[in-house]
Amino acid sequence: MKSLSVLIAEKDSTLCDLYGDYLKKLRGFRLQGRVDSGETLFSALAAQTIHLVLLDLYLPGFGLLEGLRRTRLSHPRVDFIILSVGSAPDAVRGALCLGAFDYLIKPFAYSRFKAALEAYRIYHLGLTERREPWKQEELDRLTGTVLIPSAAFDQAPPKGLQAKLIGDVTALLQAWDKPLSAAEAGDLLGVSRSTARRYLEYLAEQGRADVEFAFREVGRPVKLYRLRHC
């Protein structure tokens, strides 16, 4: 399972510890380090490969929006999720306009943090792992510019299935350019293989996913799932 490296940029050591504990609960992420100032953040980005920075926009010595603009120009492949206060609407708007993936206003719940990180992982891998040309509807699905037109949302999901995870699995299949096994989908989404299989089978039953088999020289064939394009 590919792990995305995360850097926490927060001056409050208690919050750093909290965010680190949050990350440990999520599969597919690796805490690369912690910094408490703009100077140490710039140095860390220059010295390491970082996929995502969890940034307090008001980090000492960072420079607020100008610091974010500078960092985005110097490290265009690094993404940011802002974990900060929301008292200045212009700062929130500016951060999003400068390409921050998400903005979480302190204090926030773990569930909101988890949703942001999981959405980012699907987004990041969907963009960086794809090798085939994009179709507009596929890119729209990944970037969230349109709702997923899935029959799975026309009615409440069966007992034991979560609507959000149905959406995540659908978005993953939409973003990927090849069929996925339950094990691969589970790794990408940070859930177990059995959980991924239940949701993939549900989409297949709903007519939203096609099933095919990859035969191997030894052992049983691997069941693969691909989103059905209507």
Give backbone dihedrals phi and psi of 30, rounded to 5 degrees, phi first.
-130, 125
How many CB atoms are closer than 10 A to CB 56? 21
Q: Determine contact, residues 82/102, Cβ cutoff 8 Å.
A: yes
Tens-level pLDDT at each residue, the chain (230 residues): 578 999 999 999 999 999 999 999 888 899 999 999 999 999 999 999 999 999 999 999 999 999 999 999 999 999 999 999 988 888 999 998 898 999 999 998 898 898 889 888 888 887 877 777 877 777 776 766 444 444 434 456 777 888 888 888 888 887 776 888 999 888 888 888 899 999 999 888 888 888 888 876 666 788 899 887 65
Q: Which two tokens stand for residue 68?
A: 């974010």
Please give the domain boundaries of the chain with CATH numbers for all domains. 4-118 (3.40.50.2300), 132-227 (1.10.10.10)
Select from 3, 6, 28, 5 the least CA-distant residue to 19.
6
Q: Which two tokens stand for residue 44?
A: 């860390």
